[in-house]
Amino acid sequence: MSRAAGLSRRQFLALGWFPWLRPRHIGLAGARFRILRNGRSLRRYLRIHGNEETARQVLERHMETHEGIAFVIESRTRVVAVESLQLDPNRMFSRVGAEANLKLLNPGVAPERVRRALDLLDRGREKLVRALTPPRGGMTIALHNNSSAYSVTAEVPISDQTSLREPGNPHAFFLCTDPRDFETLKTSPYNVVLQQHGPKQDDGSLSRLAAARAFRYVNLEVAAGQTERQREMLNWLEWFLP
């Protein structure tokens, strides 16, 4: 730090060109992400749930052959700790969404502890959001795995448009926030939903934030263990979306 302090701002910014000086991690409360970089591209990638092992494997291998920046959560569990309370990291992107999730996952918790956790998230959220937001013209792709409890069926009623080309496999689907991406994705043989406006209720997920800030975002969901299927759909997306 002391060496950097002696440099001009211009020199300091130039350090960004040296890969070994760039940060390798970024975090918010108990959610800590490893940063994988490959070349230069407008693509950003995310694996946010620590228990979704298929998504981790697919994304890490993908980054060996595709350019962009990936953020891979390091925890092994679905939830992370915030001020020793449990939180789903894909509910931390708004205060109102995080509050609902903290109350859900920590029944009977004192309001003061919830407020402390929310204040902590408020202080650090924007830094993480900036990292996960794609540059102009770019896109953020989040990889998820689901179990029998969740499928595209849950998203259909709260979506602006849907195209269910594979109704027999509701666990595999794309969720996007940009209508142009929807127009392309619906030509695929896969299920896809558009949530550009989405439901009024803000659940604190990154897809809701992407819709609110109007950046291109695609969620790629498949059932846990469907490695080849997730790889195939990710490759389709890379090939056909600009």
Segment holding 234, helix H or strand E: helix 227-240
Least separation, in Å, of the C-beta of 223 and Zn ion? 12
Query: 242 in helix, strand or coil?
Result: coil
Nearer to Zn ion, 78 or 103 (CB): 78
- Determine which residue in the list 43, 49, 186, 216 makes contact with Zn ion, applying CB under 5 A: 49
- From 197, 119, 192, 209, select the one nearest 156 (Cα to Cα): 192
d(CA 148, CA 206): 22
Nearer to Zn ion, 81 or 109 (CB): 81
Residues present in the chain in total: 242
> CB atoms < 10 A from the CB of 136, how many?
7
Nearer to Zn ion, 91 or 144 (CB): 144
Q: How many residues of this chain interact with Zn ion, rule: CB under 5 A?
A: 2
Least separation, in Å, of the C-beta of 48 and Zn ion? 6
Least separation, in Å, of the C-beta of 220 and Zn ion? 10
Least separation, in Å, of the C-beta of 242 and Zn ion? 26
Residue 128: CA count within 13 A, CB half-sphere: 28
Taking CB under 5 A as the binding criterion, the range among 41-49, 126-134, 168-176, 226-234 that sits at the site for Zn ion is 41-49
**Can you list the alpha helix ranges (DSSP code H) found in 73-222?**
95-105, 111-132, 152-155, 179-185, 206-213
Residues 118-177 close enough to bind Zn ion by CB under 5 A: 144
Nearer to Zn ion, 29 or 48 (CB): 48
Least separation, in Å, of the C-beta of 119 and Zn ion? 26
> Six-digit token pair at 232?
């195939």
Nearer to Zn ion, 49 or 62 (CB): 49
Confirm if 176 and 208 have CB atoms less than 8 A apart: no
Taking CB under 5 A as the binding criterion, the range among 44-52, 125-133, 150-158, 173-181 that sits at the site for Zn ion is 44-52
Binding residues for Zn ion, per CB under 5 A?
Answer: 49, 144
